[in-house]
């Protein structure tokens, strides 16, 4: 069974064993509708866009959505259905299909359908509880996530953490079992055997703050507008859709989960100290 964000992904298969599933089928016959279009920035050095036959302001059930990756492929889906169609362009292949499907298109689709709220974070388990690492660009998030994985902590997500609310708790959803502790583009990454198999309430969020290599490691809780701003900045798949409900979810995350600034000395030789400080903080 191939689970991605708690959905079974079936490539040209007919047997369904999970109520949450998507069938992925190749179809070279569909035409792309560009009546309404959104462009995404900073996507693997390619022009990437989402288009539709209807406005993105008021998304409708069965609305046609097209996701185009320049020279690679186009995905087509009708919102709130369980079939995703694709066709390759000149550089498309099976490896790129899985990369773009798992890493980008499914999170966008879930955002359009308002199923999950995505946080740009690394996520691992400590004592069975999910903790998240958020950071500015090149702020050490992937490096710290990688260090915890090497210490045999269960991985939840390498980059995009899907969240949802249930009974006033904020849950983290396992993404897919690949990790990219490097900057190679359009690559799923390294397969991780120790990968989470269930949704769990988020315990803590750590906001990584670069510090001088000789500075002391400190962990301090942040509150109020600073906390909300840190979470807002860490929002992934930041599309201007479902604005009211997405703001409400972000507010509930801010009100429900403790967020801490942690100073990270910019010295790889001190990663063990950072690791031990976080472990101690979770006792």
Encode the chain (283 residues) as per-residue pLDDT tens digits.
578 999 999 987 666 666 789 999 999 999 999 999 998 876 778 899 999 999 999 999 999 999 999 999 999 999 999 999 999 999 999 999 999 999 999 999 999 999 999 999 999 999 999 999 999 878 889 999 999 999 999 999 999 999 999 999 999 999 999 999 887 888 999 999 999 999 999 999 999 999 999 999 999 999 999 999 999 999 988 888 888 999 999 999 999 999 999 999 999 999 999 999 999 999 8
- Residue 6: DSSP 8-state: T
- Residue 102: DSSP 8-state: I
Contact status, residue 12 vs residue 24, Cβ threshold 8 Å: yes
Strand partners of residue 265: 211
Contact status, residue 246 vs residue 91, Cβ threshold 8 Å: no
Residue 40: what are its φ and ψ, rounded to 5°? -105, 140
Count other Cβ atoms within 10 Å, centred on residue 176.
24
| Distance in angstroms (rounded) separating the CA atoms of residues 111 and 73 | 20
Closest to 128 in 3D by CA, of 196, 190, 42: 196
Name all domains of the chain by residue range, CATH numbers in brackets: 3-115 (no CATH), 118-281 (3.40.50.300)
Identify the three-state secondary structure at position 185.
Answer: coil
pTM above the 0.85 mark? yes
Closest to 205 in 3D by CA, of 245, 246, 249, 262: 262
């Amino acid at each position: 069974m191939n689970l991605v964000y708690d959905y079974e992904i079936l490539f040209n298969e007919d047997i369904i064993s999970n109520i949450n599933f998507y069938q992925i089928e190749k179809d070279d016959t569909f035409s792309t509708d560009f009546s309404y279009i959104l462009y995404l920035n900073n996507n693997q050095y390619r022009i990437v866009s989402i288009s539709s036959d209807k406005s993105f302001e008021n998304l409708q059930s069965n609305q046609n959505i097209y996701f185009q990756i320049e020279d690679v492929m186009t995905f087509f889906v009708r919102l709130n259905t369980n079939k995703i169609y694709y066709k390759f362009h000149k550089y498309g292949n099976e490896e790129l299909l899985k990369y773009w499907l798992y890493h980008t298109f499914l999170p966008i689709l879930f955002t359009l359908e308002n199923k999950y709220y995505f946080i740009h974070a690394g996520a691992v388990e400590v004592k069975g509880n999910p903790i998240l690492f958020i950071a500015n660009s090149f702020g050490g998030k992937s490096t710290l996530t990688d260090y915890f994985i090497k210490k045999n902590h269960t991985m939840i997500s390498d980059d995009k953490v899907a969240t949802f609310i249930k009974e006033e708790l904020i849950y983290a959803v396992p993404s897919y079992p690949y990790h990219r502790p490097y900057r190679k583009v359009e690559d799923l990454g390294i397969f991780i055997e120790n990968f989470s198999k269930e949704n769990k309430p988020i315990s803590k969020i750590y906001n990584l703050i670069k510090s001088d290599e000789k500075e002391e490691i400190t962990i301090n809780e942040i509150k109020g507008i600073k906390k909300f701003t840190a979470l807002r900045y860490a929002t992934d798949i930041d599309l201007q859709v479902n604005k009211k409900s997405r703001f409400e979810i972000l507010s509930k995350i801010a009100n429900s989960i403790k967020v801490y600034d942690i100073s990270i000395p910019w010295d790889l030789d001190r990663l063990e100290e950072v690791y031990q400080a976080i472990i101690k903080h979770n006792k």
